[in-house]
Amino acid sequence: MTTLAHRVVRQRGFLVALASGLVVLAVNLVQNVLNAVIGQLSFLGTSGVPAWQWWAGYAAQFASIAVPLTFGVVLSFWFIAPIGPDLHIAHVVTRAALAAAVGSALVFLVNLVTTGISLVTNGLMGQIRLTADAGDQFLRALGFSAVIAGGQLVTVAPLVILVGVLLRMWLERHPSEFEIVGIVDTA
């Protein structure tokens, strides 16, 4: 590992936040796989599209939604608003909801960039063609990204809150040697 990676991993609370984010990612992965299987079963025998094309779509959806969401949860639990054992449950729920919102904001940004690029290029490989309706296409990408991010916030917030409460319970049983402080605590 590089020196920067060593410094990041050794910072206070990073591994706990990473473990919490990986729990969110694992649950998202299981949910996506189950949704993909159910989706495949519903089209069984009626679609002429090969199964690998369906799975490629689900993989792209996982990469553009679950991964940025997890990154936002880790960033929030580690740097913005970490959860400590001395927090009241209302504060834990609020910080976990903030983590879900940060993850959803990253989902919005990733989807805005990817959807905007695909709409502006009209699906052409590396050829940018700004058509007369490029502004409308950008607004469409903005709306699509907002819907995806809002849906993820509503869907994933209960999971992130549960992970936050479990994290607090774990930290009560395994107290930290140092004070857990984030940006929210210093402001």
The residue ranges of every structural domain in the chain are 3-173
Instruction: Tell me the two tokens of residue 175.
Output: 């107290």
28-70 per-position pLDDT tens digit: 999 888 887 887 777 766 666 666 676 777 888 889 999 999 9
Q: Are 146 and 105 in contact (CB under 8 A)?
A: no
Handedness of CA 76, 80, 83, 88 (dihedral sign): negative
Q: What is the pLDDT of residue 6?
A: 60
pTM of the shown model: 0.86
Cα–Cα distance for residue pair 119/130, rounded to 1 Å: 10
160-176 per-position pLDDT tens digit: 999 999 999 999 998 87
87-120 per-position pLDDT tens digit: 999 999 999 999 999 999 999 999 999 887 777 6
CB count within 10 Å of CB 86 equals 12
Cα–Cα distance for residue pair 137/133, rounded to 1 Å: 6
Question: Which DSSP state fits 33?
Answer: H
